[in-house]
Structure 1
């Protein structure tokens, strides 16, 4: 199944101290509603992160659901982002949101500059960490 939503807000952030990069989409202009937040560290993962399986990017949902290395494909064509998720990660991502499906499509209604920043940040985030956890297809 595919869950489709309209993202009326995008957010990108690189921490001033360089500790993380974020690319986020939200249904509401105020950041409310359905939410996808893609996060990655700025430094190479350490041994402890590797031992915990946290040596890659993560995806966080509005209910606090979190999964590491769970994006199998991410394709951004025009203003539509299609994300295919590892089915084994769905339970972790659902938390309080049963709308999470194996494929999520977001129609992004954002100014061109915001979309360009989101595209750049998402590419950085999904390229972070161990190679086997990166998306098989990344076209953003």
Structure 2
């Protein structure tokens, strides 16, 4: 499990690029360990045909993977995102992410993760 404290947390809907995203970054300037969870606001037939009609996980290394979350949960001061073997391998992490965040971000993160990842 890759563990870090997110000094920067962003949840944004960007209609101009058809994306809804959560970004958790180790440093305020967006550098360091980073987890991005993105999902298009709408999908086309090509997205559906290629299996890209789901969320995408990306890290600071540029590694990306569509799908692969087996479970997620929000605690009192952290979120945890567990990954299947294929996603773990593609992203270079062992099992997923455990991210400590300030408690005041948790209500919006719960809503955002529900929107991106479902139950």
Q: TM-score scaled to structure 1, two decimals?
A: 0.76
Gaps of 5+ in 1: 95-99, 128-137
- Alignment of 1:102 with 2:101, yes or no, is no
Query: Is the partner of 2:91 in helix, strand or coil?
Result: helix
Whole-angstrom CA distance in 2 between matches of 1:101 and 1:31: 22
Query: Is the partner of 1:63 in helix, strand or coil?
Result: coil
Whole-angstrom CA distance in 2 between matches of 1:32 and 1:109: 18
What's 2:78 paired with? 80
What is the number of equivalent residue pairs in this alignment?
119
What's 1:57 paired with? 55
What's 2:3 paired with? 4
Query: Is the partner of 1:60 in helix, strand or coil?
Result: strand
The two structures, once aligned, show a CA RMSD in angstroms of 1.7
Conserved? CA contact 2:8–2:24, under 8 Å? yes
What's 2:21 paired with? 22
Conserved? CA contact 2:88–2:95, under 8 Å? yes
Query: Is the partner of 2:72 in helix, strand or coil?
Result: strand
| Deviation digits for residues 64-83 of structure 1 (CA, Å, limit 9, x no counterpart) | 11111111111001111111
Query: Is the partner of 1:13 in helix, strand or coil?
Result: strand
Conserved? CA contact 1:60–1:66, under 8 Å? yes
Deviation at 1:126, TM superposition (A): 1.3
Which residue of 93, 98, 117 maps to 2:108? 117
Gaps of 5+ in 2: none
Whole-angstrom CA distance in 1 between matches of 2:10 and 2:30: 9
